[in-house]
């Protein structure tokens, strides 16, 4: 009987009426600020001639390709891509991004997404477990709203927090980056290469995609923490375990990468950017495989959260 909209509104109130939440937002902006100050300090004033650089890069790649018998296909692809993009730059007079341009800064600030992951894990684990530790769960659940709806509203509110933080990161990176490094590179296009063709897209859109890719790991770890919180009804346990796995998971899969079954581990699939520029951990892995694996994990996490939240007694 209660609408999901109102329930999400309630969850939002409980998230944003706490000072801790705004401290997190402040830390995100502070991280961007610190990064900008460092980039600004290290910026070199020497201007190199990008044209000669591009030409020599093309030559080098062509040399490499000549002697590339037996090299993996992905390697050859990346060389061809480099040649195509550099030629396009020379033909259309599009210089590459300088290391101290606003867009390069946007690129490095995707690193702050892991900070947002940690914060969202804290929020996601808290939205369930805190109700138990506060004792408010007893008043929350005795309303004409099914437990499923209440759980859904909590998950949605957690994702909204992540989205809100990412938007803050994107906007503050752009503004702070621009203020420290100048806005003159703003209009530069981003060059993409696919099927032998180079095409131009907007940098702004490109970085939105970058942020989205960087957030796959966030989404999975937050859903994982959400599940742990529902299972253990303890936010510290959920937060601790999720953050620990977030930092050790990728190393772990890397160490085990000689085994083929590693590809079924969650962390082997969370970095989707390898399918766009780079090579996957295990050669047989494809974007489709990773997406399906992620989806299976996601559904299992949510299902277990739901099962333990809706079917168990609230006693204590």
Partner 1 sequence: MAVKPIVQIRDLTKVIGKKTIIDQLSFDVYPGEVFGFLGPNGAGKTTTIRMMVGLMRMTEGEVLIDGSSIKTDYENAIVKVGAIVENPEMYKFLTGYQNLVHYARMVNGVSKERIQEVIQLVGLKGRIHEKVKGYSLGMRQRLGLAQALLHRPKLLILDEPTNGLDPAGIREIRQYLRTLAREENVAIVVSSHLLSEIELMCDRIGIIQSGKMVDVQRVNEFVKNDQAVMVSFEVDPLEHAVHAVKANFPDCDIEQSDRKVTLKIEHELIPEVTAVLVEKGIRVYGIQSSVKTLEDVFLEVTGGEQVV
Given the rule CB under 8 A, which residues bind partner 1? 1-2, 6-7, 9-10, 13-14, 17-18, 134-136, 138-139, 141-146, 313-315
Nearest-angstrom CA–CA distance, 249 and 59:
40
Least Cβ distance, residue 167 to partner 1 (angstroms): 24
How large is the angle between the packed helices 50-66 and 73-92, nearest 10 degrees? 150
Q: Give the whole-angstrom CA distance, residue 118 versus residue 112.
A: 10
Token match 């796959």: residue? 216
Comparing C-alpha atoms, which of 278, 107, 280 is closest to residue 208? 107
Which CB sits closer to partner 1, 73 or 312?
A: 312
Question: Are residues 125 and 226 in contact, defined by beta-carbon separation less than 8 angstroms?
Answer: yes
Find the shortest distance in angstroms from Cβ 306 to partner 1.
16
CB of 158 to partner 1, least distance (A): 17
Q: What is the nearest approach in angstroms of partner 1 to the Cβ of residue 289?
A: 41
Nearer to partner 1, 145 or 213 (CB): 145
Q: Are strands 197-202 and 189-194 parallel, antiparallel or unpaired?
A: antiparallel
Minimum CB distance to partner 1 smaller for 24 or for 58? 24
Q: Which helix (H) or strand (E) holds 199?
A: strand 197-202
The alpha-carbon radius of gyration of the chain (Å, integer) is 23
Query: Are 158 and 242 within 8 A, CB to CB?
Result: no
Say whether 286 sits in a helix, a strand or coil.
Answer: coil
Closer residue to partner 1 in complex, CB, 129/268: 129
Q: Provide, rounded to whole angstroms, the least separation between the CB of residue 11 and partner 1.
A: 10
Q: Which CB sits closer to partner 1, 51 or 138? A: 138
Burial of 230 (0-12, 13-18, 19+ CB in 10 A): buried
Smallest gap from Cβ 28 to partner 1, in A, equals: 21
Measured from the CB atom, the residue of 144 and 195 that comes closer to partner 1 is 144
Nearer to partner 1, 23 or 208 (CB): 23
Q: Which is nearer to partner 1, 23 or 292 (CB)?
A: 23
Kindly state the smallest distance separating residue 103's Cβ from partner 1, in Å: 40
DSSP annotation of 313:
-
In angstroms, give the least distance from the CB of 152 to partner 1: 14
The distance from CA 149 to its chain's CA centroid, rounded to whole angstroms, is 27
CB 273 within 8 A of CB 206: no
């742990």: which residue's tokens? 228
């Amino acid at each position: 009987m209660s609408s999901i909209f109102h329930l999400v509104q309630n969850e939002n109130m409980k998230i944003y009426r706490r000072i801790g939440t705004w401290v997190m937002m402040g830390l995100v902006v502070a991280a961007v600020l610190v990064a900008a100050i460092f980039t600004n300090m290290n910026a070199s004033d020497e201007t190199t001639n990008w044209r000669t650089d591009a030409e020599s890069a093309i030559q080098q790649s062509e040399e490499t390709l000549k002697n590339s018998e037996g090299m993996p296909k992905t390697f050859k692809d990346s060389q061809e891509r480099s040649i195509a993009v550099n030629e396009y730059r020379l033909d259309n007079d599009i210089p590459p991004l300088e290391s101290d341009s606003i867009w390069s800064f946007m690129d490095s600030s995707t690193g702050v997404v892991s900070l947002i992951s940690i914060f969202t894990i804290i929020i996601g684990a808290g939205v369930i477990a805190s109700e138990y530790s506060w004792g408010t769960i007893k008043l929350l659940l005795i309303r004409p709203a099914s437990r499923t709806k209440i759980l859904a509203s909590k998950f949605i509110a957690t994702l909204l927090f992540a989205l809100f933080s990412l938007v803050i990161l994107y906007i503050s990176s752009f503004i702070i980056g621009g203020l420290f490094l100048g806005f003159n590179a703003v209009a530069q296009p981003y060059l993409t290469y696919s099927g032998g063709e180079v095409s131009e897209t907007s940098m702004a859109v490109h970085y939105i995609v970058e942020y989205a890719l960087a957030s796959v790991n966030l989404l999975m770890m937050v859903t994982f923490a959400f599940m742990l919180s529902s299972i253990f009804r303890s936010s510290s346990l959920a937060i601790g375990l999720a953050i620990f796995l977030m930092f050790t998971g990728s190393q772990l899969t890397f160490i085990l990468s000689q085994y083929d079954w590693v590809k079924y581990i969650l962390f082997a699939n969370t970095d989707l950017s390898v399918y766009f520029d780079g090579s996957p951990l295990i050669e047989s892995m494809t974007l489709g495989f990773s997406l399906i694996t992620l989806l299976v994990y996601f559904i299992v996490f949510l299902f277990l959260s739901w099962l333990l939240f809706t079917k168990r007694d609230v006693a204590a």
